[in-house]
């Protein structure tokens, strides 16, 4: 029984890291459009350009470049967040946990700032420049990811550790 728990826990402990990696990839990808819901209920479709001192810089096709204080933002999510996750077992639980963590990252301006701060980090750039590894992250191939030395090194990265602490994971 104990070995079964260990087999489940090992992949699941990578979930916050994978959430941060997916968010980093989506936030840092050129033209990555997000749905930004403001406190007044209005919604904006825009790419996040940056985050500094509590203010998001976003680029909207219709409104151009805008500065939005994080206190005015209710949520930020991808346009396809309505996709359902199906399946069973450890992979399905990891998918559900990953989805929850992605949402928590996107609505926490401090964590978004931490993720954006990693855009020039060589360890992150190396991962984001590997299409096969990005595909493994996107498809939740936990066995592949838990054996990749770059992912395992990133797991101990101080900024990733801060993200995990901030999210309470």
**Would you say residue 79 has pLDDT above 50?**
yes
| pLDDT top residue among 18 and 164 | 164
From the list 76, 105, 78, the residue with the least C-alpha distance to 166 is 105
Check residue 14 and give its pLDDT: 54
* pLDDT confidence bin for 49, thresholds 50/70/90: confident
Residue in the block written with tokens 């096709």: 61
**Would you say residue 85 has pLDDT above 60?**
no
Q: How far is CA 95 from CA 17, 46, 64, 68, 127, in A?
A: 13, 26, 35, 31, 20
Question: What distance in Å separates the CA atoms of residue 159 and residue 139, rounded to the nearest whole number?
Answer: 24
Question: What distance in Å separates the CA atoms of residue 82 and residue 103, rounded to the nearest whole number?
Answer: 12
């Amino acid at each position: 029984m104990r070995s079964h728990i260990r087999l489940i826990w090992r992949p699941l402990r990578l979930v916050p890291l994978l959430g941060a990696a997916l968010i980093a990839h989506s936030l840092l990808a050129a033209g990555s459009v997000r749905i930004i819901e403001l406190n007044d209920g209005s919604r904006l479709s825009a790419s996040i350009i940056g985050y500094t001192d509590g203010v998001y810089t976003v680029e909207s096709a219709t409104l151009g470049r805008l500065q939005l204080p994080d206190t005015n933002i209710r949520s930020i999510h991808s346009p396809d967040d309505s996709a359902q996750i199906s399946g069973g077992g450890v992979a399905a639980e990891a998918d559900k946990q990953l989805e929850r963590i992605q949402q928590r990252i996107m609505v926490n301006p401090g964590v978004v700032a931490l993720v954006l701060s990693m855009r020039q980090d060589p360890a992150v750039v190396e991962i984001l420049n590997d299409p096969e590894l990005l595909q493994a992250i996107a498809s939740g191939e936990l066995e592949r990811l838990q054996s990749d030395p770059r992912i395992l090194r990133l797991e101990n990265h101080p900024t990733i550790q801060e993200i995990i602490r901030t999210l309470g994971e």
